[in-house]
Amino acid sequence: MDSPDLKAPQHYINRELSFLEFNHRVLEQAFDEAVPLLERLNFLCISCSNLDEFFEIRVAGLKQLQELGGGQLAADGLSIAEQLSSIHDRATRLVDDQYRCLNELLLPALAAEGVPLLEPPDWSPEASAWLEQYFEREVEPVLSPLGLDPARPFPRIQNKSLNFIVRLEGKDAFDRDSELAIVQAPRSLPRVVPLPGAGTSRGCVLLSTIVQAFVHKLFSGITVIGCYQFRLTRNSDLFVDEEEIDDLRRALEGELAQRRYGSAVRLETSSDCPGDMVRFLQAQFASAFLDTYPVNGPVNLNRLSAVYDLIQRPDLKYPIFTPGMPKRLTGSADIFAAIRQKDLLLHHPYQSFAPVMDFLRQSAADPQVLAIKQTLYRAGHDSPLVDALVSAAQAGKDVTVIVELRARFDEEANIELSNRLQEAGAHVMYGVVGYKTHAKLLLVVRREAEGIRRYCHLGTGNYHPRSARQYTDYGLFTCDVDIGHDVHELFLQLTSLTQTPKLKRLTQSPFGMHEMILGKLAREAEHARAGRPARVIAKMNALVDGQAIEALYRASRAGVRIELIVRGVCALRPGIPGVSENISVRSIVGRFLEHSRVFYFENGGESELYCASADWMERNFFRRVEVAFPIRRPHHVERILRDLDLCLSDNCQAWRLGADGQYERIARGEARALSAQAELLATYAAGPAAIG
């Protein structure tokens, strides 16, 4: 029988459409009545935020290629125009579902719980009077209504800002007809305003509702006929030609100022906005490729996330949990001694991120510590880890930090922390020209009685304490000599002009990780053909790389059992006879964002397990500095395999990808309800005696 063409378009799922399917799975959490009510609202907001970024980056990039006349086809054979058309159709359905969820389910449920989002017909006389005073006191002073005529052109509209187009009737102060005006809401104004009152149940009003109710106060002597919300999404990708600049930080600072005014890619309007006004808005943004989405409610549902913080109702949120702590670290102040005893593996958020912060703080204060080196991709504002690095630098230790300035949407925060570190005396570098530094590495060099010892932390997630309570990730503490050597060599590569290092334990991108993955998949195929045990379990955020997918197809054809846990985008199409019938793909969407990358190869009975910072995407393999590290301690291997088995057994929050490219929620049937995340919470957060 002839071998199938593994590159054939019908064997692949479009990357962009796969993302929209992932965002649908996120939105489904908002529909799920088993999820606490305010958490459902939060999932709705997350789905809207995800869609914003999708338009700002992915759709904007496609439209830019279309304008430039690009003719390349996606892996599934779709042209750019076909992709954009399909995206619009799928995104339209998604937006409709978002507002259906809000209007038909969440708003009535919130009102039933005593925390309504009130519209003017629902305002009591007391609430109406208070809101009018609030408008006059807090809102009106910062609004600047802009009439539109030849002397007053259409204003520049910032990316994702809240705006109103107002239709007027009458004469203005200059005795000219004044038909339209624009009102821009400054970002300094809160988008959700709680009504005064005591207790945990209180109503809220959206800023957009307040402005629309009292907008007439901005136009003395002129009748307001209508006031309609709109919002513009712009291309927010930054471009910096690193070969043509002298200072990456200064170049990015300049680009950030322009991000708010990139080319227009999406226009959202309230569904009651008249057609002629919608067409007028479209004309102002001078884009032949502008997508328009009428919405049945307030634009930018992501701003409703403020309700979650305003309403102190623990009964409407996930139960608070206390992360567990490894036995060796409870009651022990010496984290170095604990690491010398044997490697430590942490699983966040089920286990605390505090040991990572304690490791840095102890290193900063320990007179025996000579040097600290760390990569920072996303650390956030006011990071305690940066505080510790500053303290170490001020204490005279040699501190080197690789700050990735181009971490998308964290550029400004990373510029600020790099300035702060430099002012404290740390050496701050920005990685290798042309490659983002995405590896998660921390190295502490310490002088001890036996000589110099290197202590390392390697992770699958960012050094971000808040993310560590929301994202699932693994982190390994070790003072293994070979790993210490490798991490040292990697930092030399990142800070100097050294050649590509020869690594003993670690594997890095862009040198070697892609080849390693392809080689190990090919090895599994050989084991299967020889009748030896052959199995692959791979957990990641995204699977897009064409060569990796082909290698998975070849391994499947050889008889390798392949189980993929891919949270987000997956371009592989499982279950195709003769191609991928031995491959299963599932996605888990729940309380925590599944972020860890884990790769298991059965290897004929001599299994290997790796954790990594990289997904299986071209950018991670070829355009980023990434690191994969082996898990060698048997107890740790068993732990991670148990974790993976829970993910593969989940029947509460798991979705299965079919050969048709559609996801179906895995049916529980008669089986016991099993949520991997709930099981892991119960296991890891049970206390120090549970997991060592």
pLDDT in tens, 117-139: 999 999 999 999 999 999 999 99
Left if phi > 0, otherwise alpha if psi is -120 to 50, otherwise beta: which for 90?
alpha
pLDDT band at 245 (very low <50, low <70, confident <90, very high): very low
pLDDT band at 246 (very low <50, low <70, confident <90, very high): very low
User: Which residues, 6 or more positions from 137, have their beta carbon under 8 angstroms from its beta carbon?
Assistant: none
Say what percent of the chain tops pLDDT 90. Answer: 71
CATH architecture of 327-501: 2-Layer Sandwich (3.30)
Q: Do domains 10-316 and 509-684 have the same CATH topology?
A: no
User: Which residues, 6 or more positions from 472, have their beta carbon under 8 angstroms from its beta carbon?
Assistant: 347, 348, 349, 350, 592, 593, 594, 595, 596, 677
DSSP secondary structure, 489-536, as one string:
HHHHHHHS-PPPP--SS-EEETTBHHHHHHHHHHHHHHHHHTTS--EE
pLDDT band at 409 (very low <50, low <70, confident <90, very high): low
Above 70 in pLDDT, residue 311?
Answer: yes
pLDDT band at 417 (very low <50, low <70, confident <90, very high): confident
State the virtual CA torsion across 43, 47, 52, 54 in degrees, nearest 10.
140
Amino acid at site 342:
K
Q: Which CATH class is domain 10-316?
A: alpha beta
Mean pLDDT of the chain: 89
Question: For the ranges 220-224, 288-292, 500-504, 513-517, which has the lowest average pLDDT?
Answer: 288-292
Read off the pLDDT of each residue in 347-362 and give the average, rounded to a whole number.
95
pLDDT of residue 412: 73
pLDDT band at 287 (very low <50, low <70, confident <90, very high): low
Superfamily of domain 509-684, CATH level 4: Endonuclease Chain A (3.30.870.10)
Sign of CA dihedral 502, 507, 508, 511: positive
Amino acid at site 290:
L
Distance CA 683, CA 692 (A): 12
How many degrees, rounded to 5, is the angle at CA 538 between CA 536 and CA 543? Answer: 120
Which of 347, 438, 464, 527 is the catalytic position? 438
- Out of 148-162, 177-191, 416-430, 636-650, the most confident range is 636-650
Distance CA 144, CA 544 (A): 47
pLDDT band at 689 (very low <50, low <70, confident <90, very high): very low
pLDDT band at 11 (very low <50, low <70, confident <90, very high): very high
Read off the pLDDT of each residue in 379-383 and give the average, rounded to a whole number.
77
pLDDT of residue 173: 44
Read off the pLDDT of each residue in 51-71 and give the average, rounded to a whole number.
88
User: Which residues, 6 or more positions from 287, have their beta carbon under 8 angstroms from its beta carbon?
Assistant: 263, 264, 265
pLDDT band at 200 (very low <50, low <70, confident <90, very high): low
Pick the closest to residue 36 from 230, 292, 313, 228 (CA basis).
313
Distance CA 171, CA 146 (A): 15
pLDDT of residue 3: 85
pLDDT band at 263 (very low <50, low <70, confident <90, very high): confident
pLDDT of residue 176: 44
Above 90 in pLDDT, residue 475?
Answer: yes
Question: For the ranges 292-306, 324-338, 437-451, which has the lowest average pLDDT?
Answer: 324-338
Is pTM beyond 0.85? Reply is: yes
Distance CA 225, CA 216 (A): 9
Distance CA 310, CA 38 (A): 11
Distance CA 7, CA 17 (A): 19
pLDDT tens readout for residues 131-183:
999 999 999 999 988 888 766 788 888 999 999 999 988 655 444 445 889 99
pLDDT of residue 619: 94
Question: Residue length, the chain?
Answer: 692
Pick the closest to residue 166 from 231, 220, 216, 221 (CA basis).
216
Asked if residue 562 lies in contact with residue 556, where contact means CB atoms within 8 angstroms, the answer is yes
pLDDT tens readout for residues 510-545:
999 999 999 999 999 999 999 999 999 999 999 999
Above 50 in pLDDT, residue 624?
Answer: yes
Above 80 in pLDDT, residue 39?
Answer: yes
Active site residue 438: yes
- Indicate the domain borders of the chain: 10-316, 327-501, 509-684
Above 70 in pLDDT, residue 289?
Answer: no
Pick the closest to residue 161 from 300, 320, 338, 357 (CA basis).
300
Burial class of residue 443 (count of CB atoms within 10 Å of its CB; 0-12, 13-18, 19+): buried
End-to-end CA distance of the chain: 52
